[in-house]
Every structure is written in structure tokens, then in C-alpha cells.
Amino acid sequence: MTFVRNPVILALDVDTIEDARKILDHVGDMIGGVKVGPRLVYKYGASLVQEFSEIAPVFVDNKYFDIPSTMESAVRASFQAGATLVTVHALAGLVALTGLAALEIELNRIRPFKILAVTILTSWENSSFPENFHSWTVENHVRSLSQLVYRSGLRGLVCSGHELEFLSQKDFFKVVPGIRLSSDEAQDQKRVMTPKQAMKSGAQALVVGRTILKSTQPRQTILEILESC
Ligand code: C5P
């Protein structure tokens, strides 16, 4: 079952629905999906998700992290708004994730829907970790949390391109942000990867923001990414 139309998920990192619409009018037919987060969702609510889901599959990236019943309600509400992909934190634990895996099965009877677990935020490095995490490296946390996700029955992960290598043995649907064309600057992303490298390493979909949003020729840029995948 496919959750996106092609591997390019556009991160709609803009402040207004007008800006978002302008971009989608221009490139909506070319992208595999569109990612929205609190920046737009809290401002415009569920109707924004509904509207954009008519253009492309919507990835609601609100990274839910709460008690199991609250996470399930949040995920269900996102689905009802029109989301095809949503993110939750793996750190919420096995009980929460197992409940979400059952919910995912239920919702897939209605239409394709995937829950993506986030392990360790890529903005965290060994040096900037909260102290109680210090006895393990970032990589070990990612390994352990991805195994937890797998045990829960969920098969969706958001991970950095560099984590793909040690996750490749698992049949996860892997969504990778931090993508840059070789001509781009990394900006605030610490560890970036080209679309080609990420797809070769086992990504199923890529989250791409500024490379497309700041391009003077966004359609050409998307084409370039798709051709390189
Ligand atoms: O502009 P850029 O391509 O760096 O945008 C990346 C997008 O992916 C942003 O929306 C960012 O919030 C998101 N993201 C990320 N790293 C993660 C998870 C999500 O960059 N680990």
C-alpha cells in the first residue's frame, strides 16, 4: 500500500495559508505529499488539513507524546481531518505504541493511513542530550527505540539519512528529512544527505523544505529531485 504519490514530501514551512496555497497551486501536482505542522495547523485548524488533502496526501507532523488514550485521540482526530501520515514519539512507550498500531489497522480499513514514530530528534547530539540520557549514545537510543516501535507493530519511522543503514534490515516505511541537493547549503541541518543517497540507503519518502521553498524554479527543483531518486 502506498501512502504518498512519489517520494517527495514538501515541508510547508510557511506562516500563512495564503503562502501555502500559492506554493501548492504551483507545485501541488508534482509532489508526493505535503507536510504541515503546528505552525499552520494551530493557526488554521483541521480545515487546512482537509483542504490540502484534496491536493496531495497530508503528513501532519505534530509529534504527539502523551498518555496512550490522549495519543490515540490525537491520531484519530488527525485522520478525521484528512491526514495520511502522522508523527508520534517512540519515547511514549510500548503500551501507547501498541494501542496506536491497533488504531492504524482500524483506520486503514477506511483509507491508507500510516503512523510514523520519531525516535531521537535529529537536533539532539550526544553533547546536547538531557543528562538522564547520557549513559547511551544517540545511535544506541535510536536502535533501541526503533526495536520498540517494531515490537509494537508499527512500521513507520522518521529517521535521519545516516540512521538508515542500521535500520535497513527492518521492513519500516522510512521517511527522511535533512535532504539537500549537492548544490545546496546545509543551513541549520547538522547531517544532510542527497535524495539519491537517501533513497539508495532505503528511504521510502523524503521530507524536503527549503530546497524547494527557496528555489527560484521550484518545479525544476522537484523534477531534479525526482529524477535523482
Ligand atoms: O528545510 P528543510 O528541508 O531542512 O526542512 C526539513 C523539514 O523536516 C522541517 O519541516 C523540519 O521540521 C522537519 N524535520 C527535520 N528533522 C527531523 C524531523 C523533521 O528537519 N528529524
Element (H, E) at 87: strand 83-89
Number of domains in the chain: 1
- Our answer on whether the CB atom of 76 is closer than 6 Å to any ligand 1 atom is no
| DSSP 8-state symbol, 157 | E
pLDDT score at 2: 86
Q: What is the pTM of this model?
A: 0.95
Question: How many angstroms separate the CA atoms of 143 and 179, rounded?
Answer: 21
pLDDT score at 116: 98
- Among 15, 122, 207, 221, the mutation site with the greatest number of ligand 1 atoms within 8 A of its Cβ is 207
CATH number at residue 213: 3.20.20.70
- Burial of 186: CB neighbours in 10 Å, binned 0-12, 13-18, 19+: exposed
- Our answer on whether the CB atom of 221 is closer than 6 Å to any ligand 1 atom is no
Query: Is the residue at 127 inside a domain?
Result: yes
- Among 9, 13, 160, 211, the mutation site with the greatest number of ligand 1 atoms within 8 A of its Cβ is 13
Question: How many angstroms separate the CA atoms of 110 and 88, rounded?
Answer: 21
Query: Is the residue at 28 inside a domain?
Result: yes
User: Strand 114-118 to strand 83-89: parallel, antiparallel, or no bridges (unpaired)?
Assistant: parallel
Helices (H), the chain: 17-27, 38-44, 46-53, 68-81, 94-108, 138-152, 164-167, 195-200, 210-213, 218-228
Query: Is the residue at 27 inside a domain?
Result: yes
pLDDT score at 131: 85
Query: Is the residue at 79 inside a domain?
Result: yes
Per-residue pLDDT for the chain (229 aa), expressed as one digit of tens each? Answer: 589 999 999 999 999 999 999 999 999 999 999 999 999 999 999 999 999 999 999 999 999 999 999 999 999 999 999 999 999 999 999 999 999 999 999 999 999 999 999 998 877 777 778 888 888 888 999 999 999 999 999 999 999 998 998 886 679 999 999 999 988 876 666 678 999 999 999 999 999 999 999 999 999 999 999 999 9
Query: Is the residue at 90 inside a domain?
Result: yes
Query: Is the residue at 3 inside a domain?
Result: no
Query: Is the residue at 141 inside a domain?
Result: yes
Neighbours of 147 (CB within 10 A): 13
For residues 129-144, one letter each, b for 16 or more C-beta atoms within 10 angstroms of the residue's C-beta and e for the rest, the string is eeeeeeeeebeebbbe
Question: How many angstroms separate the CA atoms of 221 and 205, rounded?
Answer: 16
- Our answer on whether the CB atom of 20 is closer than 6 Å to any ligand 1 atom is no
pLDDT score at 186: 65
pLDDT score at 169: 65
Catalytic site residue 63? yes
pLDDT score at 47: 98
pLDDT digit string, tens, across residues 83-98:
999 999 999 999 999 9
- Our answer on whether the CB atom of 209 is closer than 6 Å to any ligand 1 atom is yes
Element (H, E) at 118: strand 114-118
Range of the domain at 44: 8-228
